[in-house]
């Protein structure tokens, strides 16, 4: 019922009360009838308004989850590619560590691949969709509380941890390299596109040995963590997919 009709019935109710020609019983009957009509009309209007709001919020939540699923699928692919891309760097540390442990030094290998000593690949992830939905207070629209818990855990714990851990590791590694590794070995300029060192000249240097063993272990662990994160992202994507299919 339109606002004009509600006002019309309210005016009718007032006219009934003010009508001196009608008896009390007749007034009461007509008055309560007009009030009943108003109550029904207002209740129906509120019900329709709430239904529209609920439908709008459902669409918002669904669009958000659809977008998040796409972000996770894309992010898992890119992260997997990053793990593969960086694996030769990690393998260099593994091989160098083995050479140091067995005292079987392959100078050509250590020198030619020495670019891996400082190569970096920082993990990044676009959090914009999640942060925008969260800051708008719309996370309350996700009715599946288990899904919401997993979503919050991934976006507020797992992903930020990996981003910060990468920054901390690579920044600290570069600082150590600049202070204790780079200045000690002559540059090899066979390939101007890569910064190669005569790393084989440092095999007896305790700083170099520490660098290979310690940071190599850290990089291996980071690779394992990223693979675990990929699985977590895929699992949540599947969980969202199941929710959207309901």
Which structure tokens are listed for 44?
């129906």
Q: Is the pTM of the predicted complex or chain greater than 0.75?
A: yes
Contact (Cβ atoms closer than 8 angstroms) between residue 16 and residue 30: yes
CA 25 – CA 140 distance, rounded (Å): 51
Place of tokens 């019309």: 8
106 C-beta neighbours (distance < 10 Å), count: 14
Contact (Cβ atoms closer than 8 angstroms) between residue 41 and residue 5: yes
Answer with the residue of higher pLDDT: 31 or 65: 65
**Average pLDDT of the chain to the nearest whole number:** 85
The pLDDT-based confidence of 195 (bands split at 50, 70, 90) is low
Which structure tokens are listed for 179?
């202070």
Lowest-confidence pick of 101-110, 181-190, 200-209: 181-190
Q: Where are the domains of the chain?
A: 61-244
Contact (Cβ atoms closer than 8 angstroms) between residue 129 and residue 64: yes
Contact (Cβ atoms closer than 8 angstroms) between residue 109 and residue 95: yes
């Amino acid at each position: 019922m339109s606002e004009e009709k509600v006002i019309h019935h309210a005016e009718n109710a007032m006219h009934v009360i003010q009508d001196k020609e009608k008896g009390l019983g007749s007034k009461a009957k007509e008055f309560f009838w007009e009030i009943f009509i108003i109550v029904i009309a207002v209740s129906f209007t509120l019900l329709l308004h709430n239904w529209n709001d609920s439908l709008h919020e459902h669409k918002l939540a669904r669009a958000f989850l659809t977008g998040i699923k796409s972000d996770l699928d894309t992010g898992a692919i890119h992260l997997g590619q990053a793990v593969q891309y960086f694996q030769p760097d990690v393998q260099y540390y593994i091989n160098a560590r083995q050479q140091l442990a067995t005292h079987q030094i392959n100078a050509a290998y250590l020198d030619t691949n020495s670019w891996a000593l400082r190569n970096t690949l920082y993990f990044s992830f676009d959090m914009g969709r999640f942060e925008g939905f969260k800051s708008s207070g719309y996370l309350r629209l996700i009715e599946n509380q288990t899904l919401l818990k997993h979503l919050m855990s991934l976006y507020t714990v797992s992903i930020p941890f990996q981003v910060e851990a990468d920054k901390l590791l690579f920044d600290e590694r570069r600082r150590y390299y600049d202070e204790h590794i780079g200045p000690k070995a002559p540059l090899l300029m066979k390939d101007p596109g890569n910064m190669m060192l005569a790393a084989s000249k440092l095999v007896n240097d305790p700083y170099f040995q520490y660098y290979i063993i310690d940071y190599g272990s850290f990089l291996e662990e980071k690779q394992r963590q990223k693979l675990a994160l990929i699985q977590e992202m895929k699992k949540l994507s599947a969980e969202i997919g199941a929710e959207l299919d309901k």
